[in-house]
Amino acid sequence: MMTMQKLEQKLQRADRKQAALYLFCNFISLMLISAYSAMIFSPTVLTVLPEGGDSRKQMIAIFVLALFGCTVFTAYAASLFFRKKSRQIGTLMALGASRRRLAPGLFREVFTLSTVSALAGLLTGFPFVWILWSLFRMLIVDSAQMDLVLDFRCLFVSIPFFLIVVLFSCITAFRYLKRTNIMDTIREEHKNEPVRELGRWCGPVGIIVLLIGAVAGYNASAVYQHLFSAFPPIWINVLYAPVFVGLYMIILHTVVHGWVQNKKNPYKTLISRSMMKFQGRQTVNNLLVSTVLIAGGCFGLFFLPMMGSSQLLDTKNRPFDYLFQYRADQNVPTQTAVEELAGQYDLDLKDWSSGEYLYLAMDGQEMFEDGRSYHYEYTPLLQGGKFLSESSFSELTGMDVDVKPGTYKGISNDEETGTYFMKLESELLTNLSTMSTCDTKFDGFIHYGLLVDQRGYYVLDDADYAAIKEGISDEYRGNMFAFNINGEDSYDFAYELFLAFMGSFTEDCELPIYYDPVEKYACEQRGETYWGDTDEMTQVSFDDPDSSDFRMYWTYMPKIRILDQNDYMRTYAVYLMMFLFIAIICILAAMVIGYTRCQTIALNNRYLFDDLKKLGASSAFLTREVKSQCKKVFRTPSIIGISLMFLLYTLIMFGNDGALTYSEVIGLFACAGSLLIVSLVIYAVYRLTVRKVKEELNI
């Protein structure tokens, strides 16, 4: 005899595919959020990414996007599950089962499914991170700094997300039980969600709205600072909102109208377009989330080729294999000592050259903060700069240069980019040992990329240099030497020389490049504590010369071609892994959303495909309709997300210096190559999805 309990169990078995899809969605969402939160809270990552730095801000911003995407995704999965579940509820209610009778079983099933899947995903996130990290260390690069350490404060993100998933599923179950119309409950899964049509103007206007939002959001901060002399509030980012409105309109146009009209055979795509339109609301929402996730994934992916191409081109084009700079009071290896060490590796040195520089204070307008507002005041001791004489520059580089008396020239690369850290408005130089001054003004650039760093090199007229040098102490005087290797270089020699050079410095030179003695002196004169003497400034240590912080930020870090080329991956390993992980998480989430949406299309339109079969539709015709549906789900967000992020990244590169440098152009080509790989991955998932949908529909 068929009891109500047995009937309920039979209906549950009939819906097992939908339950499996719900389990899969919850599992993937929690796994991705758990893994991402584990990464962004990891001390391994936080130690390398400076607090308040652009890299950490970008990491958090994309995490917010991923969190938003997974939230929408799980909410959609739950609503989809209950739309199918409503048939079971309505059938049992029609057979006389009361809501009170159905409630315990429904809540038990929903709570079990959501809890088990979400908890499994949460716990799987940790081994998922560990596996990816270990593969990166095993296949790409490994270093002591790459030891993965997890901070379980990340659970403060993943556990609330877990509770939201479970709570939302229970609330949705309660809402469905509250319905009174049995027929509406039974037919819930067949209800369409048509989206409101806005006409064919929707797509072109959406593009315009998107561009307006991008321009407004990108320039809003600069305009606000110019008008109000204050740091922009966080709400100013709301000006990016038109970007999402424009995206929605573009995707809506794609779903409802499409961009290409088949005037010769307008009915060819009638079935596929109608299926898409009748489920337009959820389709548009899903495609919007997928677009944002793919764009975020591309942003993370671009970090690798852009940084790599810039670094490799810089090291390749250097005129010297080795360049060392040091404070004059340090006892570094001499030319004889370097030659003796090279002899141990059967190496010969050539093109040895040297020079000296002075560390002088430069005047300018200093920013003083008052809460969110700020103002500028003139100060004769704004920041320090490294100044060479004409003769010293020529001796070091072999280039003849003529600097007019009373002026100075800045040293830049050939494109004159990356000079934002230099002071080009200074009119007064100060010797901090004697406090003697020299009136001067900026008079253009000298192109010599090897002497470009985050502090800035300048060249003075010989007479001005001699005058300002009078009485300066070794603390504010430095020396430099450079040389090439005659023939093939040796990494072992380069590394041993680097360690010997570093080991010759005293502890007071254990400083990052942004530690400025001029700023420190000015702060002490005002009775203030210099921020570089607090915990706010990232420190470097002689005990860890292979760390990313030391290699990137030590103020006397030498430029050694073979070392920089071979250790690039190790130096930037954590950066590369973090942004690669971001790309994997975002693109994987987008692919899961696309796969789930296509499965939904198959389940919701099963009856339509069955009717088409009865009317004599061939397998080829049905396959074409399936491909048409799946193609829009994958192709639309991929094209929009990839194109927008590539355009945005190009604008960011251009906006940094008002031009695209040669290395940036090469980097953008490398980014285009990485996009080809992403496109192939998306295409592979699309093919897999089509095959699965055809299996579901028995085509």
pLDDT digits (tens, 9 = 90+) for 151-193: 778 888 888 888 888 888 778 777 766 654 555 544 555 555 5
Whether 384 and 520 have beta carbons less than 8 Å apart is answered as no
Per cent of the chain over pLDDT 70 is: 83
Indicate whether 484 pLDDT > 90: yes
pLDDT number for residue 186: 47
Q: What are phi and psi of 375, to 5 degrees?
A: -145, 165
pLDDT number for residue 263: 57
Spell out where 334-470 has E strands: 349-370, 373-389, 408-412, 428-430, 437-439, 442-447, 457-460
> What does DSSP say about strands 442-447 and 559-560: parallel, antiparallel, or unpaired?
unpaired
When pLDDT is averaged across residues 117-132 and rounded to a whole number, the result is 85
- Name beta bridge partners: 458: 387, 410
The model's pTM is 0.75
pLDDT number for residue 185: 47
Whether 165 and 26 have beta carbons less than 8 Å apart is answered as yes
> One-letter amino acid identity for 593?
I
Residues 6+ apart with CB under 8 A from 177: 89, 99, 102, 103, 106
pLDDT number for residue 113: 79
Positive or negative torsion for Cα 580, 582, 585, 589: negative
Indicate whether 50 pLDDT > 80: no
Kindly state the DSSP code that residue 631 receives in the 8-state scheme: H
pLDDT number for residue 336: 94
Among all chains, which residue has been given the structure tokens 């290699």?
551
Element (H, E) at 211: helix 202-228
When pLDDT is averaged across residues 27-38 and rounded to a whole number, the result is 83
- Name beta bridge partners: 480: 325, 355
Give Cα separations from 595 to 65, 171, 602, 669, 688 (angstroms): 19, 26, 11, 30, 9
Indicate whether 299 pLDDT > 80: yes
What does the block give as tokens for 124?
Answer: 């799987």
pLDDT number for residue 92: 64
Q: How many CB atoms lie within 10 A of CB 36?
A: 28
User: How far is C-alpha 136 from the chain's CA centre?
Assistant: 18
pLDDT tens per residue across span 316-351: 889 999 999 999 999 999 999 999 999 999 999 999
Whether 403 and 445 have beta carbons less than 8 Å apart is answered as no
Based on its alpha-carbon atoms, the radius of gyration of the chain, rounded to whole angstroms, reads: 32
What is the average pLDDT value for the chain, to the nearest integer? Answer: 81
Q: How many CB atoms lie within 10 A of CB 485?
A: 21
When pLDDT is averaged across residues 353-368 and rounded to a whole number, the result is 92
* Out of 27-31, 259-263, 482-486, least confident range: 259-263
> One-letter amino acid identity for 18?
Q
Indicate whether 667 pLDDT > 60: yes
pLDDT number for residue 409: 95
Domain coordinates in residue numbering, the chain: 1-191, 198-256, 267-319+569-699, 322-488+506-541
pLDDT number for residue 180: 46
Q: Using 50, 70 and 90 to split pLDDT, how confident is the model at 211?
A: confident
> What does DSSP say about strands 349-370 and 373-389: parallel, antiparallel, or unpaired?
antiparallel
* Out of 37-41, 81-85, 184-188, least confident range: 184-188
pLDDT tens per residue across span 426-473: 999 999 999 999 999 999 999 998 998 888 899 999 999 999 999 999
